[in-house]
Amino acid sequence: MKPAPASLRHRVERLRAEIERHNRLYHVLDNPEIPDAAYDRLMAELRALEQQHPELVVPESPTQRVGGSPVPEFAEVRHQLPMLSLDNAFAREDVEAFDRRVRERLETDEQIGYACEPKLDGLAVSLTYRDGLLALGATRGDGTIGEDVTHNIRTIPTVPLRLSGRGWPDLLEVRGEVFMSSAGFDEMNRRANEKGEKIFVNPRNAAAGSLRQLDPRLTASRPLEIYFYSAGRVEGKPLPDLHSEILKVLRGWGLRTSPETQVVTGVDGLLGYYEDIGRRRSSLRYQIDGVVYKVDSIEQQRRLGFVARAPRWQIAHKFPAEEEMTTVRAIEWQVGRTGALTPVARLEPVFVGGVTVSNATLHNIDELKRKDVRVGDSVIIRRAGDVIPEVVRVIIEKRPSKSSSVRLPQKCPVCGSAVEREEGEAVARCTGALTCPAQLKESLRHFASRRALDIEGLGTRLIDQLVDAGLVRNPGDLFKLTVEQLANLDRMGDRSAANVVESLEHSKQTTFARFLHALGIRDVGEATAEVLAQHFRSLDALRSSPAEAIEEVPDVGPVTAGHVHAFFADSRNAKVIDALIQHRVRWPAVQGNSMRDSPLSGKTIVLTGKLSTMSREEAGDHIRKLGGKVAGSVSKNTDLVVAGGDAGSKLKKATQLGVKVLEEAEFLKLIGRKR
């Protein structure tokens, strides 16, 4: 084929630039210059030229938004910077407490500047641009690992395939929310109804389902939009020092942000914004379930850091919960991983808070008695955001004449074992342990979870099948599974089965702390497992320790110590642990000083300034592993302050109080780490 002449190449480039300019005017700036018919003519000309000269087609061309074949499956994407969850506020007091915590950690009495925006009810995604071109689109997933949906992201008109303007970094990762407008959702459902196709329940479910289609042509047919709300990884050029200024820069590059974003000061500013958006909520063109507050200063965000899986510098202020009335069909008991029996109300399905609700938690037997919920009762159901629906109250006037109170079962509804309730506890428990299928299933899910042994492919459906088929009776049985056994299960083929067996083999190499966490001991989460591992350093030492010795571990109280000792004293658990060791589940020896010998054991330490060898989060992990506690502010109870570069008011206060200050080199020596 004869190559395209230079004049034609130039025309194609001009057309692409013109079309992208009009896309930005229409989708980002909401200020179109030409009618739809004129835009369509430009697209038609470009498409015709590319068809005549396929060598001119490039991935970022406007004609390539919908193209390519369906993908066979979604690939996993590991987020280099985790996409964290948000803590929630529901009342004025929660917002005041949030602002107070921020100011205390920043050690300032001055009012804080906050960037505020509506909390869209959609699906969070991460987009990566390399040299200004869209390279990757991924869902949030569990915050650490999402799914590659680049083929579908490209079909969304408000996503630029090439960044506008100039001066963007070599690599730019941006986070956003994919959603459907209310009008787009209604129109999509109207057309689907005419064709006799599936009707979606709400815009959020419709957006999530549309983005997770294997065929991009189906995604392209749905009215998806996106608003970008933050930047993630950035390489090659720094972004501004204020979150609000970063959003302005993103808009300049063609990345659409919420027009409702606003910077306010202090609690009054936050609540004023919340009330204003609340008044206008019904007139917005999309659904929201609250607003999000973020500390505007990026430097202050860094200083505030994170707690667990949520940033300390932002919070979601949810709108009041939505309530509806329905009828209780039945009250059943669910059995959890630790044997806890939770009463659950099975309801006449009712639409509330954007979803159809047919179950609601009753928490525990005391709560059930307090509310006196009975089968046949008319009840008020509340749902707020993603919170599990709950029964708020019973409408006594509507109660059937013949009804009786619900009693705590004496036998486990799953395995028939005795149910016991310790004195002073609200929770009753099945005593069947791993002989109870319900407890076994939940234990296996925990054992295989990402923060425990991280066994990929061992999900809820597969675990249910393995237990129901009698193939797995305890965690040790997992490592006996063969490809043939797995391949015979529902929705499992040879390839999937082989992947699970390979993942099981890979998971055998773990750490002592992860192993302890995976065992599912009551009250032993990740942090407690870490301090136990560091303190005892070996499984034999921990198994042979009395409760009194376990209680000596920092932050382990008598109740938790009792649970740990009882777990290892139980012969059933001992058999499971021995089986796991026989199957070569192993870990490297715990290095460094034990907590008992650590110079940081029991000490309260404050980190300030910028460390050159690690982040402050990593430094905090080292301190906790060695038995120390990390505090956010300096007081007379502070034992040490670790000062990095540009240390500020905390260093000054430490000097005033006479608290010992360590430079980074001294700190590294103390924790046994080289530069």
Rounded Cα distance, 492 and 513, in Å: 32
DSSP 24: I
CB proximity list for 225: less than 8 A, separation 6 or greater: 156, 157, 158, 178, 179, 180, 181, 184, 256, 286
The angle, 0 to 180 degrees and rounded to 10, between the axes of the packed helices 558-569 and 571-582 is 70
Rounded Cα distance, 268 and 293, in Å: 13
Amino acid occupying residue 219: T
The angle, 0 to 180 degrees and rounded to 10, between the axes of the packed helices 616-625 and 526-536 is 50
Where are the alpha helices (H) located in 70-172, listed in sequence order? Answer: 92-106, 150-153
Closest-CA residue to 156 (of 310, 1, 312, 27): 27
Give the count of alpha carbons within 13 A of 604, CB side only.
Answer: 11
DSSP 511: -
Residue 178 · residue 207 · CB < 8 Å: yes
Rounded Cα distance, 307 and 140, in Å: 19
Catalytic residue check, 119: yes
305: left (phi over 0), alpha (psi -120 to 50) or beta: left
β-pairing verdict for 419-420 and 429-430: antiparallel
Using DSSP, state whether 294 is helix, strand or coil: strand
Q: Which of the following is catalytic: 119, 441, 629, 653?
A: 119
Residue 636 · residue 325 · CB < 8 Å: no
Residue 430 · residue 412 · CB < 8 Å: yes
Rounded Cα distance, 64 and 317, in Å: 39
CB proximity list for 633: less than 8 A, separation 6 or greater: 104, 105, 107, 606, 650
Closest-CA residue to 479 (of 452, 454, 500): 500
DSSP 364: S
Residue 347 · residue 381 · CB < 8 Å: yes
Using DSSP, state whether 131 is helix, strand or coil: coil
Give CA separation, 244 vs 247, 250, 669, in Å. 5, 10, 40
Tokens of 595: 């907590």
Amino acid occupying residue 230: S
Rounded Cα distance, 211 and 230, in Å: 20
Helix, strand and coil percent figures for the chain, each rounded to 5: 40, 20, 40
Widest Cα–Cα separation across the chain: 88
Give the residue numbers annotated as catalytic, written as ranges.
Answer: 119
